[in-house]
Structure 1
Amino acid sequence: MSVLEIEDLGVTFSTETGDVPAVRDVSLHVRPGETLALVGESGSGKSTVALAAMGLLPGNARVSGRISVDGTPIVGADDRELSGLRGRTVSMVFQEPATALDPLTRVGAQIAEVVRNHRQVSRAEAARAAVDLLRRVGIPEPEHRASAFPFQLSGGQRQRVVIAMAIANSPGLLIADEPTTALDVTVQAEILDLLRALAADSGTGVLLVTHNMGVVADFADRVAVMLEGEVVETGTVEDVLLRPSHEYTRRLLAAVPRLAVDEPRGAGTAGEDPQEPEGSTSVVELRDVSVHFGRGRRTVRALQNVSLSVRPGETVGLVGESGSGKSTAARVALGLLRPDSGSVALFGNDLGRTRGRARRSLLSGVGVVLQDPVASLDARMSVTECVAEPLRVHRRGMTAVQRRERVAEVLELVRLPRGLAGRGPRELSGGQRQRVSLARALVLEPRLLVADEPTSALDVSVQRTVLEVIAELQGELGFACLFVSHDLAVVQEFAQRVVVMRAGSVEEEGPTMTTLLRPETEYTRRLIAAVPVPDPVLQRRRRVSLGLEASA
């Protein structure tokens, strides 16, 4: 018997401009203890299917077909019936735990509330159950952490709290919608191990919605591939990832960046490092930089004696776990943070000693692309206005006509059609918004581009397009790039050198292929080992070799 049965599901949204079909004729099932991965690009209908299974579609959705969870019909059920199912029979883990948790309520109380909603227990019993659940999901000092607020926990700990809430009443079905997208590779590996253990121990079926093919290879039993609202291919994880039958699946897999650490040393150019770029003067250089936040006992060391540099035309990958100091180092390079000690040289000038107009002129040579383009672009502005804003600030002598011409040139460079110039950021797809951010960063023809997790929230094909655009423009314009990322496969493809950070210090650095193929430190080896590869057979062998599971 399946814990989830979907037959001929259709979902259509009624909008002001007419009906929009989102899902057509989708049939799926999930058995107890099994993980079904639902993959596809943004807009393919994955999340719509997941929300339909929870009965959480908005009021403008028309649903046809049949959905049953543990034998209980979902389509046509009233709010009372659905409320009784959610949290008890079926639970959901969302991509961003910060939006799933109440920031003003202690995490123990939030878990206890879920327990009391479906069990006749006292407040004291629910509080003890919350502590036990925190212990079960691997939160250290659960008695102490139960009294913490969400903002006092790390991203990985918040995701564990969300999982504790989801499993509080031992549901038969767990729906996980991109549960590891915002996490670094080591925390991602821990969360996947936790979900794997829960499925094995309690027989919970898992519907995993993701665009990360490495996660699919590491965690799923079967895969369903969606394209424009339809399932175009289903099968075992080995069949779909290693022997795909549909052309779309093959294109999707071809776009996945692959870590070369598991490939033979003699294959292709693996293990070979490119020649160092010309030019001895660094575009940006941090020398023995230290940054501390807070005072007294609450002082937190963010950076400690960090030295790194980026040469002209070079891309340096800055990698490490969350909290390692990557983004802090990038903010220092951008002049957004003044170090407590050490110095920052930008284009050969001491940034700490530069003031006023000279400092603004210096910083105008730096472009920035951030992880979330929605937060970095003004929703009230059009695409043209967003891209032109740096010109209005730093090129005051330009006329309106000259600004429009320059914006049109840059939009063409980043492969955006001119027809999008008048739209707002929220009218664009995720990949289009990120290319608008890139155009804005390049409109002043910077000598240095700082990219902080620019592709982590994008699906693989859009990620591939954005990275290709950056690489092509770097070749044409010759800017240097400081690339901050937790995706080692992307860094391996994109960067000539890599700097590995740990707890605010530089753990290891060197040419990318040398460092990732032959790491010198145990920390770097663990970081690389935590990256799942999109090959289920190879990933299973890696887990055995790392002692993560018994050899079959």
Structure 2
Amino acid sequence: MSGERERVLEVEDLQVRFATDTGEVPAVCDISLHVHTSETLALVGESGSGKSTVALAAMGLLPGNARASGRVTVDGTQVVGAGEAELARLRGRTASMVFQEPATALDPLTRVGAQIAEVIRNHRPLGRAEAAREAIELLRRVGIPEPEQRARAFPFQLSGGQRQRVVIAMAIANSPGLLIADEPTTALDVTVQAEILDLLRGLAADSGTGVLLVTHNMGVVADFADRVAVMLNGEIVETGPVEEVLLRPRHEYTRKLLAAVPRLVFQGEDPAPRQDAPVVELRDVRVRFGRGPRAVRALDGVSLDVRPGETVGLVGESGSGKSTAARVALGLIPPDSGTVSLFGTDLARSRGRRRRALLSGVGVVLQDPVASLDARMSVAECVAEPLRMHRRGMSAAERRARVAEVLELVRLPKELMARGPRELSGGQRQRVSLARALVLEPRLLVADEPTSALDVSVQRTVLEVIAELQRELGFGCLFVSHDLAVVQQFAHRVVVMRAGCVEEQGPTMSTLLRPRSEYTRRLIAAVPVPDPVVQRRRRAGVTV
């Protein structure tokens, strides 16, 4: 029984408040929780609920403007109030953390094997050669192919899934009793996500590591967690075994979260195909990166199109070429061969002012709005920037009016216009990014993973806004995503990519319900669902 096992993390009456210019803001309010050895506790809730603050408090990583009280005990060490020397001994040895974005956790200028070896030597008296050998073994343990060669690679030479495995190798290098995983699979495609979860599950079972999993993905919770704690406004509103919380939720907020989860459905019809001329068309496009024998084939004979008023979902695993295809459609990557037509015009033959005029008809929404919005600008300035570049005849008053109009379209109040992007929630920032993309009334919207980093209720809101605006404005949308459930709900047609090629394409419902390709069937089978019974049967190899 879990009650008889050792507690590797114990949180009692934790409070965290942040000092701001307008006074202290409560983030976590008197919460208590625990994690046993060989157990995974999932901490779930919307953005701003306080779940990541709890994870940072457990590692002693709260920012300088945070004030914490209560008890946080990791393997007998009281974290709240501990000195930096004591916390440094704790981190990486007794407790480790895996973050959402491995790029921020890895040094881009240091080979990955050396980074793992450094973590080992920081806590154990090993020589360089022995630590290097252990780093290679750790890479093998976390499923990196050819670990001797990969140890000499730099982070940018690895795929997103491989980088996340490197981060996990660093986290388990010193056999910690507690592993804190903060959204460890959010940016990964479904098959890599399943592999990472299998890896973490095996670590917990084999070494007795307790895991605190911070996530907004209820499918991941169902697949991986033993218990669940649901947070709302800094408080835990429900906790219990995973089957009880996900299948028989008591709290209305938990029921709301579960209702917002996108799910694959296995019945439905496709709308009639559209006959309008495409707003963008790729024909037999080929792209190679690099030269000679080391050249990488990114796209190989890719053909697809998007028509006015329709959404085409572009899906596939990491490295399949879907983001490269989107960048080709945007004119950011010139194809080695094949043609790209934008609004009926060959993009390769367009130069100067004519090319700029064509591209002004394209709006772009990226996965991370923080990277696409200038933190030094206000919301109004961010949204108005395309107008200043492409509508130079507009007066300042006309720009302000247009910005107010488009912010209203994306359901953002005018009061936010003077704020900076970092003063907004994740969902608000993504809607500012959407407003910026729509301010020029584009005929084509390219959305590259626009909701993968958002919690489920905010994700639903953003997708509803895009769909509503598409019905109103009639733009075509190329929607790049690894979430097949979202694509099924949102896209009219789907293009499945694999290793730079189009594996299959067609109307969304028929393609996902009756896939011709074994690869597509594998992608569909890897989609986690928020039902722990179904996920357990899947892991046991039972067809569901």
TM-score w.r.t. structure 2 length? 0.96
What's the CA shift for 1:515? 1.1
* Offset, 1:356: 2.5
Q: What is residue 271 of structure 1 aligned with on the other side?
A: 268
What does 1:136-535 correspond to in 2, within 5 Å?
A: 136-261=141-266, 270-277=267-274, 279-535=275-531
Please report how far the alpha carbon of residue 291 of structure 1 lies from its aligned counterpart in structure 2 after TM superposition.
Answer: 1.0
Tell me the CA shift for residue 316 of structure 1.
0.4
Letter in structure 2 aligned against 1:74: V
Q: 2:468, 2:444 → 1: CA distance?
A: 15
Between the aligned partners of 2:323 and 2:64, the Cα distance in structure 1 is 40
Equivalences for 1:47-62 in 2 at 5 Å? Answer: 47-62=52-67
Is 1:121 the equivalent of 2:126?
Answer: yes
The separation in 2 between residues aligned to 1:101 and 1:154, in whole angstroms, is 13
Q: CA deviation at 1:546?
A: 6.1
Instruction: Classify the secondary structure of the residue corresponding to 2:418.
Output: coil
Please give the secondary structure, in 2, of the residue aligned with 1:304: strand
- 1:264 match: none
Corresponding residue number in structure 2 for 1:266: none
Separation in 2 of the partners of 1:184 and 1:530? Answer: 9
Structure 1 residue runs of 4 or more that deviate by more than 6 Å after TM superposition: none
| 1:42 maps onto 2:47 in alignment | yes
How many residue pairs match? The answer is 539
Matches of 2:278 and 2:115 in 1, distance apart? 50
Q: Separation in 2 of the partners of 1:63 and 1:280?
A: 59
Pair 281,58 (structure 1): closer, same or farther in 2 beyond 3 Å: closer
Q: What CA distance in whole angstroms lies between the structure 1 residues aligned with 2:198 and 2:115?
A: 24
Q: Deviations over 1:228-280 (max 9, x none)?
A: 1110100111111111111111111111111124xxxxxxxx23212223x33
* Alignment match, 1:95: 100
Find the residue that maps to 1:3 and give its secondary structure: strand
Judge which range, 144-153 or 25-34, deviates more. Answer: 144-153
- SS of residue in 1 equivalent to 2:540: helix
Letter in 2 for 1:410: V
Residue 424 of structure 2 aligns with an amino acid whose one-letter code is L
User: What is the rounded CA distance, in whole Å, between the counterparts of 2:538 and 2:496 in structure 1?
Assistant: 22
User: In structure 2, do the counterparts of structure 1 residues 537 and 84 end up closer, same or farther at CA, with 3 Å as the change threshold?
Assistant: same
Match of 1:267 in 2: none
Shift of 1:355: 2.3
Percent identical among aligned pairs is 83
Which is worse superposed, 477-486 or 423-432? 423-432
Structure 2 residue ranges without an equivalent (≥5): 1-5
- 1:13 maps to which residue? 18
Q: Secondary structure at the match of 2:7?
A: coil
Task: Output the CA distance in 2 between the equivalents of 1:336 and 1:122.
Answer: 47
Q: Which segments of 5 or more consecutive residues in structure 1 lack a partner in the other structure? A: 262-269
Bigger Cα displacement from structure 2, 56-65 vs 130-139: 56-65
Q: What is the CA–CA distance in structure 1 between the aligned matches of 2:141 and 2:16, rounded to whole Å? A: 37
1:537 partnered with 2:503: no
Tell me the distance in 2 between the aligned counterparts of 1:496 and 1:526. 21
Q: Name the aligned partner's letter for residue 39 of structure 1.
A: V
2:35 is the counterpart of 1:30: yes
The TM-score with structure 1 as length reference comes to 0.95
1:115-172 Cα deviation digits (max 9, x unpaired):
2222222222212111111111111111222122222211111111111111111111
Q: What's the CA shift for 1:397?
A: 2.3
Give the CA RMSD over aligned residues.
1.5
Give the aligned residue type for 1:102.
D
| Structure 1 residue matching 2:64: 3-state secondary structure | coil
